[in-house]
């Protein structure tokens, strides 16, 4: 039996524990649904061909489990047609799993965040069920799902779908496991701890996340670099990022994800999408690195380095404390993968097509001087050089505040060159994209 039923035709979930099935907008819903089901039954329509499926764990795992309805002692009941579906509901939650739920809530609470276990979030006419939901800062919601080695692989059905659905509805999925094979899956941002008994998980002592969190190492591709250039054999002179596995305390992970100082990132390498957690500072810096003047990084408030931590001393980024030690020796198939290039984190910024109002008010642009080989105005070339220099300068800065300021400077320079390109292409009736490509080729290939 299950309390939640999915109606295939109506595309809604029915909560049998509530009189109105949690659909006040549909009066007499139970009578209608029940009578229809009974009617099909009398006609001999197989349960699998009727309208109802399990809307509980079966649906959560992506299993279509047919159900029929009955009344028992005045109670409404939904019954699985297949025994294997019914069994899915009777797997008791392990002590370890419960210990994790409690630990997440305790850690969150100590960081000043609320939360609850087994939370059902209403999404239009359906729900999302979350193992443990932490209510973080600025409306941030972290949906913890704990999958331990005590369950079998079937528990992993539909992970990508469930995680995707949560993310789409404002819940950052955070899946945690103690099994290495799960942690290596790329279907969501998995974190892993060592396998521990419930007493240890429940206790206040150190509980470490040993995979799933990375520190990004930003470096310059010159002769001093320790990593090979991701673009080739020679040194390209640009900045690159390398992701290194790093341990983080489980409690810190709970609090910092809630505070927004640890965030999920994903990137594509070949055909695989890799997903892991990094500090927000690393994420921002990576976005700076992968942006260019046609795809600027997202606008950010200028904030102190500790960001959302405010009065929460427990929310300091943990990377500094462990920065001295070597990367932990754990199975890390990505450890040697040095490149994080051109992540399409942001869609093309609309600034490319906007012309600042001061340029449209009849001000005559000075675009007479031209480059002799390309015919491009010298002014455009200089503006592009200025924007590129500002971007390069940004890659050389480590200080958070300096980076914020330099990011603003670069953004302004980039917007100016974009506007100038638009204006030039318009007056000369040229293809804007071609002008831009030619300009960047010229500037970057003669930059030395």
- Kindly state the smallest distance separating residue 386's Cβ from Zn ion, in Å: 23
Alpha-helix runs per DSSP H in 240-342: 250-259, 280-290, 319-322
Contacting residue, 33, 54, 281, 413, with Zn ion by CB under 5 A: 54
- Dihedral pair phi/psi, residue 217, rounded to 5°: -100, 115
With H, G, I as helix, E, B as strand and everything else as coil, classify residue 336.
Answer: coil
- Kindly state the smallest distance separating residue 65's Cβ from Zn ion, in Å: 5
Beta bridge partners of 192: 177, 211
User: What whole-number distance in Å separates Cα of residue 384 and Cα of residue 180?
Assistant: 48
Residue 370, judged by CB atoms within 10 A of its CB (0-12, 13-18, 19+), counts as: middle
| DSSP states of 48-75 | GGSSEEE-SHHHHTT---BEEEEEETTE
Is the CB of residue 314 less than 8 Å from the CB of residue 257?
Answer: no
Binding span for Zn ion by CB under 5 A among 29-37, 46-54, 143-151, 206-214: 46-54
**Residue among 339 and 425 whose Cβ is closer to Zn ion:** 339
- Kindly state the smallest distance separating residue 34's Cβ from Zn ion, in Å: 19
The candidate with the shortest Cα–Cα distance to 113, out of 308, 321, 305, 307, is 308
Binding span for Zn ion by CB under 5 A among 51-59, 182-190, 209-217, 327-335: 51-59
Going by their DSSP bridges, the two strands 208-209 and 141-147 should be labelled as unpaired
Binding mask 352-371 for Zn ion (x = CB under 5 A): --------------------
Contacting residue, 12, 65, 78, 243, with Zn ion by CB under 5 A: 65
Contacting residue, 2, 52, 289, 390, with Zn ion by CB under 5 A: 2
* 229 contributes a contact to Zn ion by CB under 5 A: yes
Please tell me the number of Cα atoms within 13 Å of 136 on its side-chain side. 26
* 16 contributes a contact to Zn ion by CB under 5 A: no
- Kindly state the smallest distance separating residue 343's Cβ from Zn ion, in Å: 16
User: What whole-number distance in Å separates Cα of residue 294 and Cα of residue 415?
Assistant: 9
- Kindly state the smallest distance separating residue 145's Cβ from Zn ion, in Å: 18
- Kindly state the smallest distance separating residue 279's Cβ from Zn ion, in Å: 24
- Kindly state the smallest distance separating residue 242's Cβ from Zn ion, in Å: 11
* 342 contributes a contact to Zn ion by CB under 5 A: no
Is the CB of residue 229 less than 8 Å from the CB of residue 235?
Answer: yes
Alpha-helix runs per DSSP H in 184-234: 198-202
* 10 contributes a contact to Zn ion by CB under 5 A: no
* 52 contributes a contact to Zn ion by CB under 5 A: no
Task: Retrieve residue 24's tokens.
Answer: 């006040």
**Residue among 5 and 174 whose Cβ is closer to Zn ion:** 5
User: What whole-number distance in Å separates Cα of residue 190 and Cα of residue 442?
Assistant: 44
User: What whole-number distance in Å separates Cα of residue 348 and Cα of residue 189?
Assistant: 25
* 236 contributes a contact to Zn ion by CB under 5 A: yes
Beta bridge partners of 72: 75
Binding span for Zn ion by CB under 5 A among 80-88, 134-142, 156-164, 435-443: 80-88
- Kindly state the smallest distance separating residue 78's Cβ from Zn ion, in Å: 9
**Residue among 66 and 245 whose Cβ is closer to Zn ion:** 66
- Kindly state the smallest distance separating residue 63's Cβ from Zn ion, in Å: 7
User: What whole-number distance in Å separates Cα of residue 215 and Cα of residue 221?
Assistant: 18
Contacting residue, 16, 58, 210, 265, with Zn ion by CB under 5 A: 58
CA 277, 279, 282, 283 dihedral sign is positive
Which residues, numbered 204-223, are part of the site for Zn ion (CB under 5 A)? 221
Binding span for Zn ion by CB under 5 A among 53-61, 150-158, 360-368, 427-435: 53-61
The candidate with the shortest Cα–Cα distance to 132, out of 93, 100, 109, 177, is 100
Binding span for Zn ion by CB under 5 A among 114-122, 236-244, 329-337, 409-417: 236-244
- Kindly state the smallest distance separating residue 406's Cβ from Zn ion, in Å: 21
In the chain, count H helices and then E strands: 14, 16
Binding span for Zn ion by CB under 5 A among 78-86, 200-208, 368-376, 399-407: 78-86
* 339 contributes a contact to Zn ion by CB under 5 A: no
* Other CB atoms within 10 Å distance of the CB of residue 260: 18
**Residue among 160 and 220 whose Cβ is closer to Zn ion:** 220
- Kindly state the smallest distance separating residue 214's Cβ from Zn ion, in Å: 20
* 405 contributes a contact to Zn ion by CB under 5 A: no
- Dihedral pair phi/psi, residue 80, rounded to 5°: -65, 140
- Kindly state the smallest distance separating residue 55's Cβ from Zn ion, in Å: 8
List of residues contacting Zn ion (CB under 5 A): 2, 54, 56, 58, 65, 85, 221, 229, 236
């Amino acid at each position: 039996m299950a309390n939640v039923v999915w109606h295939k035709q109506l595309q809604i979930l029915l909560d049998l524990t509530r009189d109105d099935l949690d659909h006040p907008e549909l009066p007499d819903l139970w009578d209608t649904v029940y009578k229809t089901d009974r009617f099909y039954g009398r006609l001999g329509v197989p349960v699998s061909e009727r309208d109802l499926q399990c809307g509980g764990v079966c649906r959560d795992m992506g299993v279509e489990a047919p159900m029929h309805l009955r009344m028992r002692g005045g109670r409404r009941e939904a019954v699985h047609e297949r025994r294997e579906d019914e069994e899915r509901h009777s797997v008791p939650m392990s002590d370890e799993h419960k210990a994790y739920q409690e630990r997440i809530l305790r850690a969150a609470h100590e960081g000043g965040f609320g939360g609850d276990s087994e939370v059902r979030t209403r999404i239009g006419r359906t729900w999302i069920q979350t193992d443990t939901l932490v209510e973080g800062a600025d409306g941030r919601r972290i949906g913890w799902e704990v999958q331990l080695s005590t369950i079998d692989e079937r528990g992993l059905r539909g992970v990508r779908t469930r995680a995707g659905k949560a993310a789409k509805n404002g819940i950052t999925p955070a899946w945690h496991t103690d099994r290495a094979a799960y942690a290596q899956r790329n279907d969501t941002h998995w974190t892993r701890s060592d396998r521990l008994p419930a007493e240890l998980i429940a206790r206040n002592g150190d509980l470490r996340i040993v995979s799933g969190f990375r520190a990004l190492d930003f470096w310059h591709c010159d002769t001093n670099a320790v990593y090979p250039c991701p673009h080739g054999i020679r040194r390209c002179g640009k900045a690159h990022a390398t992701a290194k596995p790093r341990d983080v305390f489980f409690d810190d992970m709970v609090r910092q994800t809630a505070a927004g100082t640890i965030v999920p990132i994903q990137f594509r390498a070949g055909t695989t999408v890799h997903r892991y957690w990094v500090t927000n500072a690393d994420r921002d810096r990576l976005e700076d690195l992968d942006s260019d003047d046609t795809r600027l990084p997202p606008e950010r408030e200028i904030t102190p380095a500790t960001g959302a931590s405010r009065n929460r001393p427990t929310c300091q980024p943990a990377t500094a404390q462990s920065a001295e030690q070597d990367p932990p020796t754990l199975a890390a198939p990505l450890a040697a993968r040095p490149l994080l290039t051109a992540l399409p984190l942001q869609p093309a910024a609309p600034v490319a097509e906007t012309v600042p109002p001061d340029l449209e008010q009849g001000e005559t642009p000075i675009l007479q001087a031209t480059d002799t080989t390309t015919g491009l105005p010298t002014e455009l070339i200089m503006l592009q050089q200025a924007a590129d220099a500002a971007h390069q300068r940004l890659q050389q800065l480590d200080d958070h505040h300096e980076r914020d300021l330099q990011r603003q400077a670069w953004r302004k320079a980039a917007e100016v060159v974009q506007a100038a390109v638009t204006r030039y292409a318009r007056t000369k009736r040229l293809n804007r994209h071609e002008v831009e490509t030619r300009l960047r080729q010229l500037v970057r290939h003669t930059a030395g």
